[in-house]
Amino acid sequence: MSLGHNIKRIFTWWDGQSFGTQLWTSRNGTKVGEDAQGNIFYRNKDDSRRWVIYNGENEASRVAPEWHGWLHHTWDDAPTEVAIVHKPWEQPHVENLTGTAAAYAPAGSIRKAAPAARSDYEAWTPE
C-alpha cells in the first residue's frame, strides 16, 4: 500500500477500516460472512459484539436488511448460517442516495437537467 493510503487510514474512519479497526478485527474478530457489495461482517468470540468492515465508504444504508438485523441482535443467526425467507412483495435492497447526484428527483424538480414542461403554470413576466 502507498504511504498516502496508510496516512489516510490513520486519520480517517469514513472510508474503509482504520488501523485501529484492523487491529481490533485481527485480534478479536471472526469473519461471519460477506454481502453482495463486498462488506465483510465479524463477531467476537462470545458474540457480544458484531461489526462490519465496509467495502468503500462507511455508509450504514449500504447494509442489507438481513445483515442489519443480525448486526443489531434482532436475530441470532447470520444470513450465512440460516437463509432469510423473503416475502414476494419485497424489493431488492438499495442504499440511501439522499445527498448524492443519484438521489430521486421528481418530475419538474429544478435538480433535473431538463425540468418537465408544465402546461398548468404560466410564468409571470414584469412589464
Three-state SS letters, 56-106: CECCHHHCCHHHHHHHCCCCCCCCCCCCCCCCCCCCCCCCCCCCCCCCCCC
Is this prediction's pTM over 0.75? Answer: no
pLDDT tens profile 1-59: 566 656 666 666 556 677 778 888 999 999 999 998 899 999 999 999 999 998 888 88
**DSSP one-letter code for 16:** S
